[in-house]
Amino acid sequence: MKLGRVVGNVVATRKDDRLIGHKLLIVRLLSPKGDGDLGPSVKGENFMVAVDMVGAGIGEDVIVCSGSSAAKSSGVPDAPIDGAIVGIVDSADVDPREVG
């Protein structure tokens, strides 16, 4: 899974029926900085759209699951989903010597 922050949302009236009822949130993938916070990856910006499974809000740090695992976890058979928010981060502590 990846760490990221909810930074916005997508509204799409015309979409696959199996996405109806799902909140589509924009997550910016981030890296742990070693001080307990998350920050931009040195590899440049990386955004994804994920269905929200746990009631995440804008500004919250989250755990995102990608690929067919995300589709299966949504509970919707054959869902056109490859990204899901599956946890809201309380803490993401990393050994500072292991960053950079």
- Interacting residue ranges for a copy of itself, rule: CB under 8 A: 1-3, 5, 7-16, 18-19, 24, 26, 28, 31-32, 41-50, 53-55, 58-59, 63, 65-73, 75, 78-84, 86-95, 98-100
Least Å distance, CB 75 to a copy of itself, is 8
Residue-wise burial string across 29-61, b where 16 or more C-beta atoms lie within 10 A, e elsewhere: bbbbeeeeebeeeeeeeeebebbbbeebeeebb
The phi and psi torsions of 3 (rounded to 5 degrees) equal -100, 145
Least Å distance, CB 21 to a copy of itself, is 13
Residue among 21 and 59 whose Cβ is closer to a copy of itself: 59
**Cα–Cα–Cα angle for 28, 30, 36, rounded to 5 degrees:** 130
Least Å distance, CB 61 to a copy of itself, is 9
Least Å distance, CB 64 to a copy of itself, is 9
Give the type of residue at 96. Answer: P
